[in-house]
Amino acid sequence: MLKTIRYHLSEDKSEQDRLEQQLESFLTKRFEDNRAAFQVVMPNLAVAFQESVIDDYGLFCNKEGELNLTSRSNSQVVYGLHPEQESKADINQFLENAPVVNLVGEQASAKPLLRSYQMPESNGFVPAIPMEPLTENPDTVVMFGLGLGYALEHLLEMTTPQNVIIYEPTLDFFRGSIRIANWKKMLLDAEKRGIRLFLQIGQNGLNIGEDLKQLHEAFGSTKVHLYKHYHEPAMDVVYDYLLGPEFNFNALINGQVQLPSLDHVTHYLPFRAGKVSSSIDKESAREKIVKMKALKAKNLEALALQFPEIYEQLKDYTPQYWQAFIDDSGELNVYHEQRFGALYHANPRELASQAIQAFSEEPNRNDMFAGYKGGKLWKYRHFRCNRFFGKLFEELETDGQFIPDTVSSLIWFGLGLGYPLEQLFDDYDIKSLYIYEPNPEFLYWSLFTTPWHEILPAQRERGTHLYINVGDDGTYIQEDMFSQFHSEGGYLTASAFFFSPMYYPSMQPHINQLRRDFESYLMLSEYFDHVRFNISHTKANLKRGAEVLKHGAQISPEFAETPVMIVGNGPSLDDTIDLLKERQSEFLIISCGTALKPLYEAGITPDFHTEVEQNRATYQWITQIPDREWLKKISLLSLASLHPDTVALFKEQLMIFKHGEAGTEAFLRYAEHRKVYATLDYCYPTVTNMAVSAVIFLGFKNLFLTGVDLGFKSVGHHHSKNSAYYKDSDESWHDYEEIAGEGIPVHGNLSGNIRTKYEFQLACRIMTQLLRKSNGIKVVNTSDGAFIEGSIPKHFVEIEEQANLSKSNVKQAMRDELFTRDQVDTVVEAIEAREAEDKVLPEMDELWKLHEKPVTTREEALKQLEREKLFLIELYKRDQSIWFYLIFSSAHFISSALIRLLYLAKDNDQAIEYYEKGLEVYRDFLILTRKDWIKDKDAFDSTVVKSLLSKEEQDALDF
């Protein structure tokens, strides 16, 4: 059975309630009895009885009326349906074959766990460990893992060891056991029978050398039997060493043994993994293995045709940690050679079927259309369109959660040995399948279990987009999936279902993050209005004299070590701004966004100011500073599309094109222009991201951050108190808690955990990616906010005094070496030529006509969207107008919304009716964007921040 709590609870809620109530009196009495026993026998462990402790793993009553453990954070359970029975069976097996290590003298003979004929690629090696039957009065038993305590109870019922050491690294498990196991009986009986119990709670066995040394010296212990109740990386390493040929007691007790780490995702095993055992006979095994090897050969041929890179990786592959065997169910399983646990705890094919059944009963779908409504940009055509789609989804989503026969997109986390793959394709018509498997060894062994040679050509013929990512532990899932979303056909991904038949703890945070990223995609993506104003603003800035960053230009080595201080508007700026004022001559100072006002209030004039947003809100924030002459002393280092009204406030604009934006691609479409101008990556979502990326890109290597908190300790103190976010009374202009919520807890830079919001969390991730790829860069972070991986936390007062700095020389070198006006006129002319109405309007009309013909089936609707995608690609290739750049992102998003509508209803006719409602929204959007562009293609953004206006101005606005 799957180890997800949902399948361990009764489907009948009243029956589940009855089972739980039945156990209440037992749990209360057992808890009080155990508390009294521990207070007498082991008072040092009485802390475990405190109710104030917050556990991740807690008890629950399953549908069989038995108690089990489950994680609150991931809903995975530890045992099957019968934990006590499982534990007793383990001990009975242990009594017959107990792994043993002799502290002195020779080791016992190793007994094989498998036979070579049960393994398709044993190469003469079989897993074996020294074992012997356990006597009634063994010397010492070491238990790796206590769990619920049933195993210890049964062990003490069946034998009388002199010493029992129990390593239990998880306090939650021990706290569960004191509510269930009969500790009162165990503790009192152990005292009566002379059994020495050593409860090492919170310990994983890495200190076992010292423990065994003490037993050896104090009680003459020489023989130790090892019982492993569950798998934990550190305990498994110790277990493997003690039973391995390299074991040396003297080296262990003298601290001379270096044990490897098994924490990486490719070593993962669930707590109660499968047994490494097989009962299959030689002839049956031979027949199965012959078929498996033939399947492998066919699969490799298929991979060579469709996935040549994977073929090259696997054709001569030798697994390092995982070996395959035919388990008791007759199916291929794999075990970890150092952890002695199997991947599947039951029949792999049955578990695969259960996983697919669970998927169909409780589909797990991401929602790119939830949440973001546009914020201050709510009047934009794109966000109005999004809100219409949101209302449609709320109105039409009446069939509840279900999996349609045709699945537009499925993201599969954890391929394992691929057992569910064939059934998935039999049950569903999947248009796009993205498979993520962090362990390449599992993909290799799937060649023996999964008919890739049939699946791959069949899906290619059906037009399925199949993507396989092997070896990523989850770190790059978000980047990879958004790259896929923007690829050909990627709009199918927006309504993707998530399928996780295997649970990887280290991947789960990345999967959860991906879900949040999908939900926040609208906030970060481009769309018609953004591209429209990007082009008009950039064009105006170029015409007004902006200097543009040269391609490949970097500051000369003479100035590369210049200390550059990047100033954000985080709350900790209030703590460092006085010291910054004292030492401002030591740094080239770059202010970011709303940090400008606190610097002005403190009497600090930055050398450069940066902005990242292109709407006119930046003008309103900056003009909260009353001194326009002061602003004219500051150079602007910004993205190309900054609002021209904002640009006009400053001394000069040094501008940089943002990498990957549609506006940038429109301006730099031609090779001769790409050779002249640079583009900047890693410059979103916050202005501090832009500043850090720009400074590194310009060639500076010595960076300092202050006020770059990217988080907050108090929701009421989210920016510097001297910034424009606060009124004279220190009251915030807006309800930050309403926007950020209670916040996401993250690791702090100079202090413990702080809280952040999604945008700031993303900012940290993007900055970390930048620093990871930037060699020779030192970034010292003095901000008391979120920790940024790759930076050096340090209090401002601890920064040594910097050498004398000639700011004017550095700034002049930047202008002379890095920026240019070369070819500006030709770039502007090229854009204006493609803005001509006789080129743009016909292409607008062509797109409109693609959706005039009604459709009657889902397949016809999908083909209609496919035609649109091909048309947009054709527009790009034609390169006659800028319509492709203006409409592509919004069209991509709307296609995703239309796909979602196609699968809101099970009935085909109903689904087409919903699709047609979505098309009406799309047609209205195309009409309105056409009118807007014809009316004034050179219009600037006119966004206002209402809270910064006077009451009279607010009343005059038509909101």
Instruction: Report pLDDT for 407.
Output: 84
CB 174 within 8 A of CB 38: no
Mean pLDDT across the stretch 883-912?
A: 89
902-915 confidence digits (pLDDT tens): 888 888 899 999 99
Residue 518 confidence (pLDDT) = 74
pLDDT of 736 > 50? The answer is no
Checking phi first, is residue 552 left (phi over 0); if not, alpha (psi -120 to 50) or beta? left
DSSP code string of 337-350: TTTTEES-SS-HHH
Q: How many CB atoms lie within 10 A of CB 373?
A: 13
d(CA 740, CA 482): 24
**Tokens at residue 278, please?**
């097989």
Q: Residue 741 has what pLDDT?
A: 47
Quote the distance between the C-alpha of residue 353 and its chain's center.
27
List, for residues 282-334, the tens digit of each pLDDT value: 999 999 999 999 999 999 999 999 999 999 999 999 999 999 999 999 999 99
Side-chain half-sphere exposure of 273, counting CA atoms within 13 A: 25
Per-residue burial over 872-909, b = 16 or more CB atoms within 10 Å of its CB, e = otherwise:
beebeeeebbbbbbbbbbbbbbbbbbbbbbbbbbeebe
Residue 645 contacts residue 616 (beta carbons within 8 Å): yes
Q: Which helix (H) or strand (E) holds 91?
A: helix 83-96
Q: Which two tokens stand for residue 21?
A: 């109530």
At residue 859 the predicted structure's pLDDT band, cuts being 50, 70 and 90, is confident
Model pLDDT, residue 521: 64
Q: Are 231 and 204 in contact (CB under 8 A)?
A: no
pLDDT digits (tens, 9 = 90+) for 663-701: 999 999 988 899 999 999 999 899 999 999 999 999 999
44: its two tokens: 């040092």
Residue 783: exposure state from Cβ atoms within 10 A (0-12, 13-18, ≥19): buried
- SS3 for 639? strand
Residues with Cβ within 8 Å of 93's Cβ and at least 6 positions away in sequence, in order, are none
Write the single-letter amino acid at 243.
L
For the segment 375-401, what is each residue's pLDDT rounded down to a tens digit?
A: 788 889 998 998 898 888 888 876 666
Bridge partners (DSSP) of residue 413 are: 436
pLDDT over 50 at 61, yes or no: yes
Mean local confidence (pLDDT), 561-573: 97
**What pLDDT was estimated at residue 474?**
81
Check: CB of residue 69 under 8 Å from CB of residue 148.
yes
3-state helix, strand, coil in the chain (%, to 5): 45, 15, 40
Token couple for 557: 């080595």
Measured distance CA(853)–CA(863) in Å, rounded: 12
Q: What is the pLDDT of residue 369?
A: 64
Are the beta carbons of 333 and 326 closer than 8 angstroms? yes
CA distance 392 to 414: 34
Positions of E strands within 51-195: 57-61, 67-71, 98-102, 110-112, 128-132, 140-144, 163-168
Is 959 a residue whose pLDDT tops 50? no
> Are the CB atoms for 406 and 384 separated by under 8 Å?
no
pLDDT one-digit tens code per residue, 836-845: 999 999 999 9
* Element counts in the chain: helices (H) and strands (E): 36, 32
Q: What is the pLDDT of residues 100-131, one digit of tens each?
A: 999 999 999 999 999 999 999 998 899 999 99
Mean pLDDT of the chain: 91
Please tell me the distance from the alpha carbon of residue 836 to that of residue 828, in angstroms, as a whole number.
13
Amino acid letter for position 14: S
Whole-number pLDDT of residue 365: 67
> What confidence tier does 808 reach under pLDDT thresholds 50, 70, 90?
very high
pLDDT given for residue 733 in this prediction? 42
Q: Helix or strand or coil: residue 61?
A: strand
pLDDT digits (tens, 9 = 90+) for 866-876: 899 999 999 99
In degrees and rounded to multiples of 5, residue 551 shows phi and psi of -65, 130
CB 546 within 8 A of CB 640: yes
Cα separation, 541 vs 55, whole angstroms: 58
701 alpha-carbon distance from chain centroid: 29
Quote the distance between the C-alpha of residue 650 and its chain's center: 40
Instruction: Compute the C-alpha angle 414/416/418, nearest 5°.
Output: 105
pLDDT digits 0-9 by tens, 488-529:
455 556 678 899 999 898 888 888 888 777 766 655 678 999
Give the percent of the chain with pLDDT over 90: 76
User: What whole-number distance in Å separates Cα of residue 325 and Cα of residue 314?
Assistant: 19
| In contact, 105 and 248? CB cutoff 8 Å | no
- CA 396 to CA 390: how far, in whole Å? 10
Residues 830, 831, 833: CA angle, nearest 5 degrees: 65
| Residue pair 637/590 in contact by the 8 Å Cβ criterion | yes
At 165 the pLDDT is 98
Strand partners, 322: 336
- Is it true that the peptide bond before 260 is cis, omega within 30 degrees of 0? no
- Which residues lie across from 111 on neighbouring strands? 129
pLDDT of residue 240: 97
What is the per-residue pLDDT for 431? 86
Pull the structure tokens for residue 853: 């013909």
* Longest Cα–Cα distance in the chain: 99
DSSP state of 135: P
Tokens of 101: 């290590």
pLDDT (0 to 100) of residue 725: 46
Confidence band for 737, pLDDT divided at 50, 70 and 90: very low
- The model's confidence at residue 199, banded by pLDDT at 50, 70 and 90, is very high
Q: Is the pLDDT of residue 10 over 50?
A: yes
Q: Are 492 and 899 in contact (CB under 8 A)?
A: yes
Tell me the two tokens of residue 282: 């030689």
Q: Who has greater pLDDT, 178 or 53?
A: 178
Nearest by Cα to 480 from 399, 426, 413: 413
Token readout for 445 is: 């062994």
Mean pLDDT of 137-143: 98
Sheet arrangement for strand 410-413: 364-365, 497-499, 410-413, 432-437, 465-470
Range with the lowest mean pLDDT among 106-115, 391-400, 541-550, 810-819?
391-400
Cα dihedral across residues 183, 186, 191, 196: positive or negative: negative
Using CA atoms, how far apart are residues 280 and 72, in angstroms rounded to an integer?
39
Task: Name 778's bridge partners.
Answer: 702
Report in angstroms the alpha-carbon separations of 877 from 120, 674, 870: 52, 17, 11
SS3 816: helix
Q: What's the confidence (pLDDT) of residue 406?
A: 80
Check: CB of residue 159 under 8 Å from CB of residue 134: yes
